[in-house]
Amino acid sequence: MTKDLVIGLDSSTQSTKAIAWTAKGEPVAEGRASIPLSQPQPGWVEQDIEDWWSAACSALRQLAGELDMSRVAALAISNQRETVAFVDANGNAVRPAVVWLDERARHEVELLCEEIGQDTLHGVSGKPVDIIPVIYKLSWFRRNQPDIMDRTARFADVHCFLSGRLTGNWTSSWTSADPFGVLDIQSMTWSGNFLNHLGIHTGQLGTLARPGTLVGKITPEASVQTGLPAGLPLIAAGGDGQCAGLGVNAAREGVVYLNLGTALVSGAWAPDPMISLNWRTMTSPTGNGYFLEGCQRAGAFLLNWFVDTFAGGRDDPSVFSKLEAKAAQIPIGSEGVTVCPYLTGCMDPHWDTGARASFNGLSPNHGLGHLYRAVLEAMTLESARAISSMKESGLKIEKIVAVGGGGNSALWTRMFADSTGLPVHISRSLEASSLGAAMSAAYGAGWFQTLDEAAAEMSEESAPVMPDPGVFQAWRNLSDRQFASYRPEYRNV
């Protein structure tokens, strides 16, 4: 039988999706399973690594029930980033995995800056000093629970863990290792300086693999548990953010990838590891060049919080369409209302986990529509600022490709076009991370000569929303007023 399908296994924060794709990027069948989160203490967020495995097995078995698995040429994994498992020599958990949302290492950020140096931490890893990279979590354990560090045989990202269970090879792709904050992004090796500081060695981390290369083959034991054919090639893919960028064919010059999801991410490809507080410098999902990411941690979470708290909640399926209709009738600037959108802290450009949101300029003449529009405008302007800083640093940017639930909002996509002066396309695929992993699998299976070719052939986007040059100045004026309304320490980069 012809092997005409590849699988993108997307193990994200709260669910796993196994989707089979054709060489044209068309989804054929899928399986899904949820992954629970636990919060044993305020600010702590953990998961059982066995839930990662059981969700992957369940999703893959569902998929196997929908199609003939002998048609599958290869599999690749997209994974939640900045999450770490503590695994013993037998592959079992020493303790629960610590999820990227975890905040126990808040004080550790300052301590590591004093011990290693802020410029060194940022320059080697490409990550501005922030609570999210795994290096700070591991430093917290070394300082507070050293027995956990000493009992751990392997510190594994999700890609590494699932690769180990599926093939016996504990492999981290460059893009799944990179978010740990201990990878030297120029040499693509684990940083000996950082590992020495943590008191661990390279043998306790995943074997590093370039995206698109062979990790191993599905073992007979994993075949029984997952329904995958024994011997099926597993190809390196990696971090879900980079996989999504590849999935919308944005890992190339001239394109900004915009993920309008729980976190709002704007990413652009760069040939060199450009370092700035205006973005995180990530490794590219193609293995060539880098991916600059501006990130708003709250993103759509801020919208959901606003609706649940002030607008009656999301139980009403029409609540967003009603608010959008009201907001669309209000001019740019929300008639004086501005919002600082740092509900769960600020990543770029201030990197302050203690930052908080505010609504400013309220009067009796304002209603829910004004507040909703002001929230959209605030998030739009934060992303526009990140994109503008990338352009000012020399990147050529010609268009935006959006993905995620927010892409369904005609008002919001119009805002992005008008505020940046760039055309906005919407990705046809709602599962860009799985598709990006599938592109890696397709390349690894030999279907395409390069990952860039795979991305071009397997992606599709809508006709553009073109910017209106007549309102660009209004957005410039709003931007000035918006940032002037922030607390003084957040007004300037």
What percentage of the chain reaches a pLDDT higher than 90? Answer: 90
Query: What's the half-sphere exposure (Cβ side, CA atoms, 13 Å) at 224?
Result: 2
Question: Is 409 in a helix, a strand, or coil?
Answer: coil
Edge to edge, what strands does the sheet with 46-47 contain?
46-47, 93-98, 84-87, 154-156
Work out the pLDDT band at 395, boundaries 50, 70, 90: very high
Q: What's the pLDDT score for residue 301?
A: 86
pLDDT at 189 over 80: yes
Burial of 146 (0-12, 13-18, 19+ CB in 10 A): exposed
Q: What's the pLDDT score for residue 12?
A: 92
Q: Residue-wise over 90-115: b if at least 16 C-beta within 10 A, else e?
A: ebebbebbbbbbbebbeebbeebbee
Work out the pLDDT band at 492, boundaries 50, 70, 90: low
Q: What is the pLDDT of residues 340-379, one digit of tens each?
A: 999 988 999 999 888 899 999 999 999 999 999 999 999 9
pLDDT at 273 over 90: yes
Give, to the nearest 10 degrees, the angle between helix 240-247 and helix 432-444. 80
The mean per-residue pLDDT over the stretch 329-337 comes to 96
Q: What is the pLDDT of residues 112-124, one digit of tens each?
A: 999 999 999 999 9
What is the rounded CA–CA span in Å between residue 205 and residue 154? 6
Residue 271, Cβ neighbours under 10 Å: how many?
A: 11
Q: What is the pLDDT of residues 446-465, one digit of tens each?
A: 999 999 999 999 999 989 99
pLDDT at 406 over 90: no
* Tokens of residue 221, six digits: 């034991």
pLDDT at 489 over 80: no
What is the rounded CA–CA span in Å between residue 404 and residue 259? 6
Q: Are strands 171-173 and 207-209 parallel, antiparallel or unpaired?
A: parallel
The mean per-residue pLDDT over the stretch 381-405 comes to 93
What percentage of the chain reaches a pLDDT higher than 70? Answer: 99
Q: What's the pLDDT score for residue 83?
A: 97
Q: Check: CB of residue 402 under 8 Å from CB of residue 359.
A: no
Q: What is the pLDDT of residues 130-145, one digit of tens each?
A: 999 999 999 999 999 9
The mean per-residue pLDDT over the stretch 275-293 comes to 95
Query: What's the half-sphere exposure (Cβ side, CA atoms, 13 Å) at 278?
Result: 17
Q: What's the pLDDT score for residue 439?
A: 98
Return the DSSP state at 99: P
Pairwise pLDDT comparison (300 vs 388), residue with the higher score = 388
pLDDT at 493 over 60: no
Residues 6+ apart with CB under 8 A from 288: none
Q: Is 361 left (phi over 0), alpha (psi -120 to 50) or beta?
A: left
Q: What is the pLDDT of residues 33-48, one digit of tens each?
A: 999 999 999 999 999 9
